[in-house]
């Protein structure tokens, strides 16, 4: 944002922080700084001066106040699984890890609500509420390791978002520490809320730049009793994209509607292990479609309708998962595709999102832009939401093209998204790596408006500096 | 908020406004000022200096800029059906009616989206999308006359919110005119969004204090094919409230779960006309429960489960609506109850909301507080959301008690809401009549934070002054 002169964390800062969080929860070891200087975004490493791991809300408040009073950058970190560099301490200073905030405080079965700390891992929370017949739907691909606080930072989605919405749709209330050490609850534990400005929604997706979330009240829903999963192969990727919209138009909302290009499938299978069915050479794309609900007959009927639509769009023979194991195997291919691509080459992942029916246009455009600039892309994502993850692969591409031409290509992709009514991030956030592209979707006066909102919460701009805005 | 010295709209202002909106769309007639000086909140009348009815976005921008440059209060008005005084021009100045923004610009069947102007009436929009097999669920009691822009101002709910959410859950993107005449789109036309601060959600529920909405992009969903409606009588109102929570716990989410106290039923029937079934004298409360979906067998099964739960909670015999006419008659009783109460006595309506299972505690507390301060209340509302409309009836209560003691009683009711994890407005907003009570739910530093957000958008504080904040 503006040219703030930040201070480094000194030895005095260190001692004060140590007295706040305790000796075993503070570190300046290089190994620790390196560990907390990375996330899942490309190959970035940024070192903070100090890592702290507070265990209580008053400790978080004291750390924030200390940094605020001394203009020391303060970057909050969940589990470090982010894909936009949101947790990287790019300006040094203090790295505040929320990993000790790992308690599920209460699952309120009477009200279908849960109060949790932000360091709880998504999958652990899902499993705990499932035991009570309850459901917390948001399920990012990284659910096994990502934290609920990180999910709040980006309003993370996942396959189930197409039917159940993203993280945002399940947050009722947040306890937040502000940079000056004040603590607020953003809203109320209610399903409806019309009580002044909605600070809960403002906080969600703000990527740690407005406050530090210390407690979350989630809404839960009843767990659906059944699900069915089908894998639909296509010879033509655009046919697959076109089929997607027709399913919703037929009045069916699947609980997952995932798209994978041929390369994504091959790489994921290579990475995650064999599958017990043939991937025919002529298949260019797959849709993974799940329906869920309480009545198996209805689900079967839905699958029949979906099957008809797929056939009309030139699908090859549909595979129904006939056991829990086969379902798990199919989901594994989808969930591991990100890691697989990452392990295969240097890459850049773009989190494009457009109105659902524009997906074929976006896919075609991405390929054309790739041809123009000489880069290859592997695409997969949440087709039902119009959310396409475009992985641009370095492979043996010349460094000069990668550094100089690629940003032009990405700019063109994002401009296409904007023209189609979409935007540059559906669920990964802006963080570090997309901030240069933000002016594509917002005019200058809107950027200024957002920066001024930031300054209301964080006048010294200590919270996660160098993110979202240039 | 702060002590701003506003200017009155002068004859120079009038001429400038006239040249912006055109002669037939501006008025200073007393009759017009009175008409636009009221809404559905108690018996308030506040006169603006001038009423304008712009027809285009550039006109709205020019009106805003003129008021901003001259520090003239500017109050935006939808259809004037609000219940918290949000549309009342309490500081005079210019009243901007959005009634000419009444076009449904596009219903996009491919993407299940619609772009509309904010002056479109809720019910008209519902009917238009229904013709295409699509569904826009938010349905305030006033749906026949309220505008979609007004619904955005308060994130209005309605009976269907229990299953489908409030207005907020259907807004994808907003075109907004800022006080300085700049125009922004708050987000993108996408189902997922993680692109910097969520200005769409900040705008929703901000009651015309941050900007003027000029276009709305809504998400639509497939229209459910069937619904079933049942009326469940109880001898004990608390039993009814207790039964509500159990339905959700059984894994069923009804599409409506409405509660009415005895007096509410009697008054509504008296006001709205006869019903073709007996209201037994011993009934103290009714639940109106609707389920909807695409499969009639599933709905029948759900009704059976719900019926069982009701019986366990001491309900009397359940009435199933067996025709479209009977459904309409039952809904009419519920929809007209607000008007009926209003026609019966001077009253104050509180829009309390708590976690669903706390509803029996809230209802009991309201009655106890009423006894303590000597006032009678008639309660009804959206039990499935924990949203109870408490209508405090003046009847022949002494003016002194009404003026002096009632605010104490209301304060106690709101304090109870807060203690139960709830808040002071679920769907009506804060507006004029609840702003004195806002400090019950927010500490001073949080109020200051919200006021500062207001100043980012509206530094001269011209937009709907005197609302939300003291």
What is the domain-level CATH number for residue A118? 3.30.465.10
How confident is chain A (470 residues) per 10-residue block, as mean pLDDT?
81 96 98 97 95 98 98 98 97 98 97 97 98 97 96 97 97 98 98 98 98 98 96 95 92 95 90 82 96 94 97 96 91 89 88 96 96 94 96 91 94 98 98 97 98 98 96
Q: Choose among A166, A196, A457: nearest Cβ to B192.
A: A166
Do residues B417 and B322 share a domain?
Answer: no
ipTM value for the complex: 0.97
Length of chain B (residues)? 470
Within this chain, do residues A321 and A423 fall inside the same structural domain, yes or no? Answer: no
Q: Which of B195, B222, B249 is the last residue of a domain?
A: B222
Is A461 part of a structural domain of the chain? no
C-alpha triplet A416, A418, A423: angle, nearest 5°: 115
Number of domains comprising chain A: 3
Q: Are residues A306 and A412 in the same domain?
A: no
* CATH code (residue A382): 3.30.70.2740
Enumerate the β-bridge partners of residue A190.
none
Q: Which two tokens stand for residue A372?
A: 């123009």
Q: What pLDDT is recorded for position A402? A: 93
Which residues does chain A have within 8 Å of residue B359's beta carbon, measured at their own beta carbons? none
CB neighbour class for A163 (10 Å; exposed up to 12, middle 13-18, buried from 19): buried
Could you tell me the pTM of the whole model? 0.97
Using an 8 Å Cβ cutoff, are B261 and B334 in contact?
A: no
CATH number, residue B332: 3.30.70.2190
Report residue A139: phi and psi, to 5°: -135, 70
The stretches of A204-349 forming alpha helices (DSSP H) are 237-249, 262-272, 296-312, 324-344
Instruction: Find, among B331, B298, B356, B352, the residue nearest to B229 by Cα.
Output: B331
Strands B376-382 and B387-393: antiparallel
3-state helix, strand, coil in chain B (%, to 5): 40, 20, 40
Query: Residue B268: inside a domain, yes or no?
Result: yes
H helices of B83-236, where?
Answer: 122-130, 148-154, 161-164, 199-203
Cα–Cα distance measured from residue A214 to residue B95, given in angstroms and rounded to the nearest whole number: 43
Report yes or no on B45 lying in a domain: no
Kindly state whether residue A248 falls inside one of the protein's structural domains. yes
Of the residues A192, A222, A252, which one is the last residue of a structural domain? A222
* Domain housing A319: 226-338
The whole-angstrom distance between A159's CA and the closest CA on chain B is 12
**A161 with B198: Cβ contact below 8 A:** no
Would residue B189 count as lying in a domain?
yes
Task: Select the residue from B160, B195, B432 to test the A interface by mutation, using most A Cβ atoms within 10 A.
Answer: B195
Same domain, A238 and A204: no
Do B330 and B358 belong to one domain?
A: no
- A350 found inside a domain: yes
Contact B189/A441, CB-based, under 8 Å?
no
Distance from CA of B253 to the nearest CA of A (A): 8
- Residues A197 and A280 grouped into a single domain: no
> CA B48, CA B32: separation in Å to the nearest integer?
10
Residue A105 backbone phi and psi in degrees, to 5: -70, -45
Residue B347 has which token pair? 């009253």
Low-confidence ranges of chain B (pLDDT < 70): 1-2
Alpha carbons A455 and A2: distance in angstroms, whole number: 11
A205 & A122 share domain? yes
Last residue of a domain, one of A181, A199, A222: A222
CA distance A381 to chain B (A): 12
Same domain, A291 and A329: yes
Of A340, A355, A350, the closest CA to residue A429 belongs to A350
Residue A268 lies in a domain: yes
Q: Is the separation of the CB atoms in B57 and B183 below 8 Å? A: yes
* Same domain membership, residue A298 and residue A265: yes
* Statement to judge: residues A233 and A327 lie in one domain: yes
Please tell me the distance from the alpha carbon of residue A336 to that of residue B49, in angstroms, as a whole number: 64
Question: Do A332 and A260 sit in the same domain of this protein?
Answer: yes
**Do the domain assignments include residue A129?**
yes
Same domain for B211 and B242: no
Using a CB-CB cut-off of 8 Å, the residues of chain B touching A133 are: 251
* DSSP letters for A46-66: ---SEEE---SHHHHHHHHHH
pLDDT of residue A341: 86
Q: Do A456 and B449 touch (CB under 8 A)?
A: yes
User: Which residue from A204, A298, A445 is facing B298, i.e. has the nearest CB?
Assistant: A298
């Amino acid at each position: 944002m503006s040219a703030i002169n930040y201070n480094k964390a000194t030895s005095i800062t260190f001692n004060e922080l140590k007295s706040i969080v305790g000796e075993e929860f503070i570190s300046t070891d290089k190994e620790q700084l390196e560990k907390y200087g990375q996330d899942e975004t490309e190959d970035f490493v940024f070192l903070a001066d100090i890592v702290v791991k507070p265990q209580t809300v008053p400790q978080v408040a004291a750390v924030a106040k200390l940094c605020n009073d001394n203009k020391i950058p303060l970057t909050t970190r969940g589990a470090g699984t982010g894909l936009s560099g949101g947790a990287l301490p790019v300006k040094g200073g203090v790295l505040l890890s929320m990993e000790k905030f790992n308690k599920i405080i209460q699952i309120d079965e009477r009200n279908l609500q849960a109060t949790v700390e932000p360091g709880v891992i998504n999958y652990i929370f899902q499993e705990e509420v499932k035991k009570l017949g309850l459901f917390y739907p948001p399920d990012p691909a990284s659910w096994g390791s990502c934290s609920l606080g990180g999910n709040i930072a980006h309003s993370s989605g996942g396959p189930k978002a197409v039917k159940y919405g993203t993280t945002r749709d399940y947050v009722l209330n947040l306890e937040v520490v502000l940079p000056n050490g004040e603590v607020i609850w953003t809203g109320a534990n209610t399903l409806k809320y019309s009580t002044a400005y909605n600070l809960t929604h403002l906080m969600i997706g703000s990527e740690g730049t407005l406050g530090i979330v210390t407690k979350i009240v989630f809404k839960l829903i009843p767990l659906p009793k059944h699900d069915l999963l089908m894998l639909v192969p296509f010879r033509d990727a655009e046919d697959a994209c076109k089929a997607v919209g027709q399913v919703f138009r037929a009045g069916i909302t699947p609980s997952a509607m995932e798209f994978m290009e041929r390369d994504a499938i091959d790489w994921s299978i290579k990475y995650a292990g064999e599958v017990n069915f043939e991937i025919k050479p002529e298949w260019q794309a797959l849709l993974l479609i799940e329906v869920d609900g309480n009545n198996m007959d209805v689900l079967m009927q839905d699958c029949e309708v979906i099957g008809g639509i797929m056939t009309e769009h030139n699908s090859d023979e549909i595979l129904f998962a006939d056991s829990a194991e086969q379902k798990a195997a199919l989901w594994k291919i989808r969930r591991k595709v990100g890691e697989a691509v990452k392990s295969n080459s240097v890459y850049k992942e773009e989190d494009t999102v457009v109105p659902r029916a524009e997906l074929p246009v976006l896919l075609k455009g991405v390929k054309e832009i790739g041809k123009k600039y000489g880069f290859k892309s592997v695409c997969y994502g949440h087709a039902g939401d119009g959310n396409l993850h475009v992985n641009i692969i370095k492979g043996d591409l010349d460094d000069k093209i990668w550094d100089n031409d690629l940003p032009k290509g990405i700019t063109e992709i994002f401009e296409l998204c904007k023209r189609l009514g979409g935007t540059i991030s559906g669920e990964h956030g802006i963080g570090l790596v997309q901030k240069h592209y933000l002016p594509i979707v917002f005019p200058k006066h809107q950027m200024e408006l957002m920066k001024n909102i930031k300054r209301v919460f964080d006048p010294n701009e200590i919270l996660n500096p160098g993110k979202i805005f240039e």
